[in-house]
Structures are given as structure tokens and as C-alpha cells.
Amino acid sequence: MSGSKISELRLDHVSRGFGEVLALDGLDLTIEGGEFVALLGPSGCGKSTALNCLAGLLPLTGGSITLDERRIDTLPPEQRGFGMVFQNYALFPHMSVRANIGFGLKMAKVGKAEAQRRVDEAVRLVQLGDHAAKFPGQLSGGQQQRVAIARAIVLEPALVLMDEPLSNLDAKLRLEMRTEIRRIHQTLGLTTVYVTHDQEEALSLADRLVLLREGKVQQVGPPETVYTEPANRFVAGFMGYRNELELPVSSVADKTVVLGDLTGTRREDLGETAVAAIRPEDFTVGDGPNAMEVDVEVVEFQGREQAIQARTAGGDELHLRVQARLAPGDRVTVSVPPERVLVFAADSPAAPE
Ligand code: ATP
């Protein structure tokens, strides 16, 4: 079991409407064999619709999907032969772990010895060796999700589709299974499309992220690019630029924008007012560029850091993540480098809260 079985999956102008709503609006995307791609965005952006279109569970209302030059969007799900992992595991409760994992092989009429060998390998890969004879009801959520993953990969599908597979797990298991999914992908190299609304999950798992808003692509790129160079205000907000200050534009010189007392980096054409987007962790306590005085209102302990809610002299709320130890009522100076202040047009769409 290893290696991608495809060289390219192409979505050309894929659309899907539900009455008046265009859940997917002309999605263009090319996925290379072996890639792990995360579809990311807030609730309702069209991620599940995209995945269901890929799986064949939803017909397209426009566009096409091509797998290695072969048109597949007209094929029923079973003829696509993709592996699917859902949020709710969808295991057969009356079958053992082994039988669940081997079910697809049986349907595909794979010989008994070969099927056994492949189930063994999948069981080992997802580290369920001690539980292979148990039934789903005797397993924890994380173990059940491992069974679902093993069942999806045992057929070595051309494409693995995962729809929020970790969202029913508690925080600790989520982290554990995240590493697990990454490890399995590193081992097998199966082409994977993974849907999530959790930016941290997408950043840590995917080779490339696709950010969607209202059925349209906002940005496609490797995690580092999307994280550090968000294409627009929506992506910035979604990727953790939690602070937004709306201010009048004083001057613009190439990429450098001055907004009142704040200097930032222009990311798009601006009108008379603009929005400065800043990550909580890009502030430091003390004098420096863009120094401003703030009043500390709420302090949350977060181990090495504190999460602070503060207020500027102008009355704006600011979220900071700092290593300094502060207390409510403190008045402190904080600063942030101009290259960490991204400036967008005030009328650009924002990410939901
Ligand atoms: P979530 O994270 O909440 O699952 P999502 O990003 O996966 O959201 P979709 O489920 O793909 O979003 O939905 C995209 C849009 O299409 C939404 O506006 C949704 O209301 C609409 N939609 C999805 N499925 C249907 C349907 N069966 N009938 C009508 N509208 C639908």
C-alpha cells in the first residue's frame, strides 16, 4: 500500500445550485496526485457541497470533473471508487473492526488471502492491532474514526475524501488523530481532499489550502503562504488576523499606508477609509513601531502566554497574545511592526465572527 494512483484531478468551473442559492459558484481547482488538499471556510461556504460533488453524491449544475483526462462527474459514486471518511464514522455496528475494514474488499471480490493481508496492513497502519476483533460499540470515538480511515484506505482509492472527520472528538483526541492522519498520508501518499472549518487543522494537515466563501475560491496556496500572505480581508480574518481597526487613510506610498497613527502594509486598492488587520500574537508589550497605549480589561492564562483583551485610547477593542504578565487595569504600551499590519479596503467582505 503506497503511492498515489492518479496524476491529476481537475475541477473546471464546477457549480452546484440549490434553488436560488449557488452553493458552489464556478470552482476551478487542479489537484496533483498524492496531494493533501484542505477545503476550508466558514459554515455555508460550500465545502461539503464540493466534497459531495467529488464523491458523486450530488450532481453538478455546471462544469466538469476530470480524473487523469477521464470525465468522472457523470459517473455514480460506486464507479468512482473513492474512499470516504465522515464525521459520524458510519461504521457497521454489527460487524467487527476487521469485518468493517474488509467489507469493501469483499464487495470488490478481492481473494480471501489477499484481502486478509490488506486488512492486516490497514489495521497495523491505523494502530488498531489490539482491537481488531471488537465491535464499533466497544471502541472510543478516536478508535472508531481509525476504523473508518482504515476502511477508506484499504482499497487504495484514487481519491480519499474526508468531511470534518475529527469534529466529534474531544480536544486531546483531535490533536492525536490529526497527527495520525498526517502520518498515514506521509506513509501512503494517497490523494486526499479534506473538508474542515478549523483553520488550525487545515494548516497542520494540508499541502495546500483552498479557502471558500459563498461558493467561490478566495485563495489557494500552501499553508505558509495563506497564513502569512492572506489574499484578502476575508482570508486574513479567517486565518487569525482577529483585530480589525477601521481608520481613515492619511497617505499611501506604494505598499506603505499611514492610517492616523498606524503604519501598515497595503494589500489591495484602498478608498478613503481602510481596515488594518493584526494578529493578536504580533503585538509586543513595550515601545516600538506603531506604539500605542492600551488599557488591559480581561486576562486569560494560556501557559507561556496570556490572552489579553484591551482597549485603545480611541475606544477600539484589541486582542493580544503576549508573554508579559499583565493584570486587568494595567495601562501599557504595545507595538506591532508595520509589515504585520495588513491593510484592506473597508468595503471588502470580512470573515464571520
Ligand atoms: P457547513 O460547515 O455548515 O457544513 P459548508 O461549507 O459545508 O457548511 P454547504 O453545506 O456546502 O456548506 O452549503 C453551502 C450552501 O448551500 C449553504 O448556503 C447551504 O444552505 C446550501 N445548501 C447545501 N445543501 C443544500 C440542500 N440540500 N438544499 C438547499 N440548500 C442547500
Q: Is the pLDDT of residue 22 over 80?
A: yes
258 secondary structure, DSSP code: E
Mean pLDDT, range 281-285, rounded to an integer? 96
Give the pairing type, strands 192-196 and 160-163: parallel
Q: What is the CATH number of domain 243-345?
A: 2.40.50.140
Give the pairing type, strands 208-213 and 36-40: parallel
Determine the Cα–Cα distance for residues 330 and 66; give it in Å rounded to an integer.
59
Q: What's the angle, vertex CA 352, arms to CA 347 and CA 353, rounded to 5?
A: 115
Q: What are phi and psi of 266, to 5 degrees?
A: -75, 135
Q: What are phi and psi of 10, to 5 degrees?
A: -125, 130
Mean pLDDT, range 134-151, rounded to an integer? 90
Is residue 243 within 8 A of residue 279, CB to CB? The reply is yes
Mean pLDDT, range 116-139, rounded to an integer? 90
Q: Is the dihedral of CA 305, 310, 312, 313 positive or negative?
A: negative
CA of 45 to the centre of ligand 1 (A): 7
Q: Which of 20, 48, 211, 234 has most ligand 1 atoms within 8 Å of CB, for mutation?
A: 48
- Residue 207, C-alpha cell as written in the block: 499541502
pLDDT category, 240, cuts 50, 70, 90? very high
- State if residue 27 touches ligand 1 by the CB under 6 angstroms criterion: no
Alpha helices, DSSP H, located in the chain? 47-55, 77-80, 97-107, 112-125, 141-153, 171-188, 199-205, 223-228, 233-238
Distance set, CA 30 to CA 12, 47, 102, 197, 241 (Å): 8, 16, 31, 21, 28
CATH fold of the domain at 8-228: Rossmann fold (3.40.50)
Name the residue with cell 490523494.
191
Q: Rounded to two decimals, what is the model's pTM?
A: 0.92
Encode pLDDT of 204-233 as tens digits: 999 999 999 999 999 999 999 999 999 999
3-class secondary structure, 112: helix
- Residue 343, C-alpha cell as written in the block: 491593510
Lowest mean pLDDT among 63-67, 83-87, 196-200, 203-207: 83-87
Encode pLDDT of 57-80 as tens digits: 999 999 999 999 899 999 999 899
CA of 44 to the centre of ligand 1 (A): 5
Which amino acid type is present at position 224? E
Across all residues in the chain, what is the average pLDDT?
A: 93
Closest CA to 38 of 148, 183, 232, 191: 191
Encode pLDDT of 292-330 as tens digits: 999 999 999 999 999 999 999 989 999 999 998 999 999
Encode pLDDT of 152-163 as tens digits: 999 889 999 999
The whole-number pLDDT of residue 64 equals 97
Determine the Cα–Cα distance for residues 48 and 43; give it in Å rounded to an integer.
9
Domain definitions of the chain by residue range:
8-228, 243-345
CA of 197 to the centre of ligand 1 (A): 13
- State if residue 20 touches ligand 1 by the CB under 6 angstroms criterion: no
- State if residue 17 touches ligand 1 by the CB under 6 angstroms criterion: no
CA of 171 to the centre of ligand 1 (A): 26
- State if residue 299 touches ligand 1 by the CB under 6 angstroms criterion: no
- State if residue 43 touches ligand 1 by the CB under 6 angstroms criterion: yes
Mean pLDDT, range 330-336, rounded to an integer? 97
Lowest mean pLDDT among 27-31, 168-172, 246-250, 262-266: 168-172
Q: Whose CA is nearest to atom 19 of ligand 1?
A: 44
The whole-number pLDDT of residue 2 equals 55
- State if residue 41 touches ligand 1 by the CB under 6 angstroms criterion: yes
The whole-number pLDDT of residue 172 equals 86
Give the atom of ligand 1 at the shortest distance from the alpha carbon of 41.
6
349 secondary structure, DSSP code: P
Q: Whose CA is nearest to atom 11 of ligand 1?
A: 46
Give the pairing type, strands 160-163 and 21-32: unpaired
- State if residue 15 touches ligand 1 by the CB under 6 angstroms criterion: no
Which amino acid type is present at position 184? I
- State if residue 47 touches ligand 1 by the CB under 6 angstroms criterion: yes
pLDDT category, 1, cuts 50, 70, 90? low
Mean pLDDT, range 273-281, rounded to an integer? 96
CA of 152 to the centre of ligand 1 (A): 24
CA of 59 to the centre of ligand 1 (A): 14
Q: Is the dihedral of CA 104, 106, 109, 113 positive or negative?
A: positive
The whole-number pLDDT of residue 3 equals 64
Q: Which of 25, 43, 162, 166 has most ligand 1 atoms within 8 Å of CB, for mutation?
A: 43
